[in-house]
Amino acid sequence: MSLFWIVIRRLAEIEERMATSKKVITREEWEKRLNDVKIRKEDMNKLVMNFLVTEGYVEAAEKFRMESGTEPDIDLATISDRMAVKKAVQCGNVEDAIEKVNDLNPEILDTNPQLFFHLQQQRLIELIRNGKIEEALEFAQEELAPRGEENQTFLEELERTVSLLAFEDVSNCPLAELLDISQRLKIASEVNAAILTSQSHEKDPKLPSLLKMLIWAQNQLDEKAAYPRINNLSNATLEDPTV
């Protein structure tokens, strides 16, 4: 037998031993361990409120505040203003979105040149989408080109956007993703995060991060034990361990 096959066989034997040597934790034992972990309802409520506030569910946040007595860490009235900005971007009304941001806090765009450029870039995209070619060229030259001269990354993004004008059918061109709704959503999320940061609030909700930590922890534990695992995060059902 060749050395290669000897090594392969030995690795297979080691892997088999590791698999069979895993500790098996029954559902009963696992549930007992979970029940031993005490989590305060107050902390759970704060986690829910954090998600509602960050994602902008103002009506749900207000109802949850009344039902649970959990106070948000920002004024709920500001959520409506933030969502109005986000909705404006998602609908392609970028100029209106910029005005609303400045009404909230002029320093947001003054201190974030990248965000302002991306909003202006989206304005250019909307002009191209609506077939306003001359207006698009004038806007790119007067508003975006000077910023591109100061920043190489901005210049590359501007050149990529202006390249849309070279295609008669922009819906089928290689840069069609710039006209996709996902582009608007991307900029809307960037604006939303900037507003939250200006309000000294986390720009991302804590709940998704905790779910990512759960997945990571389970992957680490998989190497050492067989246990009731949560495979479907939407219903958090424990599944019996497989050996």
Q: What is the pTM of this model?
A: 0.73
Is residue 128 located within the same domain as residue 151?
yes
Is residue 26 located within the same domain as residue 131?
no
Residue range of the domain that includes 233: 3-38+211-239
Supply 32's token pair.
């007992």
d(CA 183, CA 121): 11
CA geometry: angle 175, 181, 187, nearest 5 deg:
90
pLDDT band at 149 (very low <50, low <70, confident <90, very high): confident
Is residue 151 located within the same domain as residue 126?
yes
- Supply the DSSP symbol for 165: G
**Residue 187, in any domain of the structure:** yes
**Residue 31, in any domain of the structure:** yes
Q: Is pLDDT at 209 greater than 90 in this prediction?
A: no
Is residue 152 located within the same domain as residue 223?
no
Pick the closest to residue 227 from 91, 26, 50, 44 (CA basis): 26
Supply 155's token pair.
């210049």
**Residue 58, in any domain of the structure:** no
Q: How many domains does the chain have?
A: 2
Is residue 164 located within the same domain as residue 226?
no
Is residue 110 located within the same domain as residue 147?
yes
Across the chain, the runs of DSSP E, i.e. the strands, are: 23-24, 225-226, 229-230, 238-239
Q: Is pLDDT at 160 greater than 90 in this prediction?
A: yes
**Residue 137, in any domain of the structure:** yes
**Residue 63, in any domain of the structure:** no
pLDDT in tens, 71-104: 988 888 888 899 999 999 999 999 999 999 999 9
Contact partners, residue 24, CB within 8 Å, separation at least 6: 225, 226, 227, 241, 243
Is residue 85 located within the same domain as residue 109?
yes
